Amino acid sequence: MAMITMQRTFTAFQGPRRLASGSAGEVALVVKRMAPQPDEPIIIFEDDTGRSIDFDLRGGDREVLARLAKLVPPPVEETAPSEPRGRGRPKLGVVAREVTLLPRHWEWLGAQPGGASVALRKLVDEARRASGDKDRERQARDAAYHFMSTMAGNLPQFEEASRALFADDRRRFTGLIADWPTDIRDHIVKLATGDRA
């Protein structure tokens, strides 16, 4: 069974106009070919966070794409091993980091089947399942706000729209941003709804 992580997407704007959306490479090459406009700088946003990001566009296309591959690695495909697993740690990309807990927490974790690591992974997975929808909604709202702050911070009713966004008052929110430039408004709505398509 294979599991593929979703590809990170980016969107470039020149002033209020959306230039391109897609992978880092696709967006970078479109931006690289654009003529600079002093009064309308080009800003690239990471769609997952709504924050601006700088791409080094110097050199030829191959050089740009090679640098981006280091900055934004392609989606990873993980496959289950075809042969039976031997003893020891599974190759799941386990990363060791420090965790600070009180002695009673360590005692409880140590008494769990599989030990502390297994118990912690189970607790984290359970918490992710329980709060998954809320986490995705919060991430989408935050991304919309970050993008909005950069691209619409000076537009009419920005403060009211921000309040409506955080109050999850979608009707009021869409009404307040209805007169904003089309590409900016549509991208904010896309980010706020978590729509990455």
| Tens of pLDDT, residue by residue, the chain (197 residues) | 344 446 789 999 999 999 999 999 999 999 999 877 778 889 999 999 999 999 999 999 999 999 988 877 665 554 444 455 555 555 566 677 788 888 888 888 888 888 888 888 888 888 777 776 788 889 999 999 999 999 999 999 999 999 999 999 999 999 999 999 999 999 999 999 887 55
φ/ψ of 79, rounded to 5, equals -120, 145
In this structure, is residue 86 part of a structural domain? no
Q: Where do the DSSP E strands lie in the chain?
A: 2-4, 10-14, 17-22, 42-46, 52-53, 77-79
Domain housing 48: 1-80
Whether residues 16 and 69 share a domain: the answer is: yes
Pick from 27, 45, 80: which residue ends a domain?
A: 80
Whether residues 127 and 190 share a domain: the answer is: yes
Pick from 53, 80, 107: which residue ends a domain?
A: 80
In this structure, is residue 121 part of a structural domain? yes
Pick from 80, 112, 132: which residue ends a domain?
A: 80
Length of the chain measured in residues: 197
Whether residues 106 and 184 share a domain: the answer is: yes
In this structure, is residue 88 part of a structural domain? no
In this structure, is residue 33 part of a structural domain? yes
Whether residues 113 and 193 share a domain: the answer is: yes
Strands 2-4 and 77-79: antiparallel
Confidence (pLDDT) at 135: 81
In this structure, is residue 90 part of a structural domain? no
Confidence (pLDDT) at 1: 39
Whether residues 145 and 193 share a domain: the answer is: yes
Whether residues 5 and 52 share a domain: the answer is: yes
In this structure, is residue 91 part of a structural domain? no
Nearest to 63 by CA among 117, 25, 18: 25
Confidence (pLDDT) at 74: 61
Report the distance separating Cα 5 and Cα 113, nearest Å. Answer: 30
Confidence (pLDDT) at 127: 77
Report the distance separating Cα 133 and Cα 88, nearest Å. Answer: 34
Q: For the chain, how many structural domains are there in total?
A: 2
In this structure, is residue 143 part of a structural domain? yes
Whether residues 55 and 114 share a domain: the answer is: no
Whether residues 74 and 109 share a domain: the answer is: no
Whether residues 130 and 190 share a domain: the answer is: yes
Whether residues 49 and 124 share a domain: the answer is: no
Whether residues 108 and 76 share a domain: the answer is: no
Could you tell me the pTM of the whole model?
0.70
In this structure, is residue 172 part of a structural domain? yes
Whether residues 12 and 57 share a domain: the answer is: yes
